Structure 1
Amino acid sequence: MNSAHGAATVAAAQAGDERAQGELIAEYLPLVYNIVGRALSGHADVDDVVQETMLRVVDGLGGLRDATCFRSWLVAIAMNEVRRRQRAHSSEALCDGLHEAREVADPGADFVGLTIVRLGLSGQRREVTEATRWLDRDDRELLALWWLEAAGELTRADVAVALGQSQQHVTVRVQRMKTQLEVARVVVRALSALPPCEELESLTAAWDGAPGSLWRKRIARHARDCVACGGHRNGLVPAEGLLAGLAFVPVPEHLGGLLPTAFGPAGSGAASAAPAPAPAPAP
């Protein structure tokens, strides 16, 4: 959205223009869907979080002081909704007597798989996408934003506002996340190598196939010390180069169809019934 035109649309939406509100929903739904999908790593609640984000955005438009800051404000609300949903699941898990939240993956919403299939990824672009499964939760949340920064859809300032941190702090976090992502890319290569490494097969005999930090560390350690797997780090193209210009994962038809109903016939009818927006940094 052109910044001048975008600010005018936001201002009109703030004044109650239902058509402008509908335009904002249609324009920014793909951005929100891609952020939430990656941050929640294909959790079954992705669609609910996307819808709740858009409801809160429309309901909270009156509190946005600067229309030119709409995008970073919206992204901050999306990340607040992601964290709220994760806290809810963590609380439920504790009530069940578990030490960690159980993330229920929906095979139909696996965002890594959707990204690969819908964007037709291959080679190192596919590898880096598969590697995101191996990141810890905090790194996945950061990746959801940094991925879109690398693709040219967000700025570092947008990312900083969304995380409620300084750009300098975000830069440090991004560097650490990229280091973990590179390790994960080596893990992906080691596991998919043909012929397979016999030592690695022996090491992973008890592995259940679910990516996690413990097995990431074990497999990465093996790859570092193994003669057969030692070359998997060679030739890795920087991740930001692979993501530059990459398109959005298309919004599923069922989600795009639900939103107009949720917002009423003109895109805003139910917004007033939504809870107050989660606190977001005021631009």
Structure 2
Amino acid sequence: MDVLISPQQLHERLGTARRPVLLDVRWVLGAADGEEKYLHEHLPGAVYVDMDTELSAPAVPGEGRHPLPDPAAFAAAARSWGLNDGDTVVVYDDAGGTAAARAWWLLRHAGCQDVFLLDGGLAAWRRAGLPLESGPVEPLPGTAHLSWGHMPVASLRDVSRVAAEGILIDARAPERYRGETEPVDPRAGHIPGAVNRPSTDNLTPDGSFRSPAELGRAFVDLGVRPDRPVAAYCGSGIFASHEVAALAQAGITAALYPGSWSQWSNTPGTPAAVGPDPGRAENPPQKG
């Protein structure tokens, strides 16, 4: 699966008759200034996409902080971005694709074939000296016909089996995986059996993706094998999409657990493991 497009490749395509649809997905946990940053500066013709209202359903403790959107609502949002059948879509952010990967995954899940992450995001575009613009972009509504279910999905009931029979990857920061801190969800720790690989480890220091060969070696070292199931989760399913994209870049198909730790930790009776050991299960007290 082709995942990435370089700034130079994208710039060339913007000058063709089949201009890609550009989506700006700037989002950071705990911040609400993504649209403000977009209005200040964005790629030419890019449409701003809101993580919380367009790429997620409303938060529900039993489903997580960023449940997958309703398919019909997502299709309507995609048409509002100007998406038509057969369009190529390029998504980007200013954080190495860690937020934009959610849009990449959802569009793939909805049946779009030509969806790419801008490798290195806005920073790489700037380094290449390519043009930017400011202000809102209001595209003509598109007519895309989307479906649902084209990417593997793991449910809350699936992930323990994946951890036992294959590799379940926790894409959060190491201190959250170990249970040393939990700034958002009701319990600290990780799903028993999960191994930790922060999504940021998929990137070079300049925010571009590591090479497919380098990613492949890292995932093999983690225990990924062709004959074993692989799934990824994070706090609420956002950064785990980046993990799935990195696995795809390495030629590995992986499922996304959308509910992630925000669903797991809100579900009574689910065990939590703490520390660097994937399998040591404990039940730390809930907040409050």
Q: TM-score, normalised by structure 1?
A: 0.25
Greater C-alpha radius of gyration: 1
Structure showing greater relative contact order (alpha-carbon pairs closer than 8 Å, 6 or more residues apart): 1
Q: TM-score, normalised by structure 2?
A: 0.25
Between structures 1 and 2, the one with greater helix share: 1
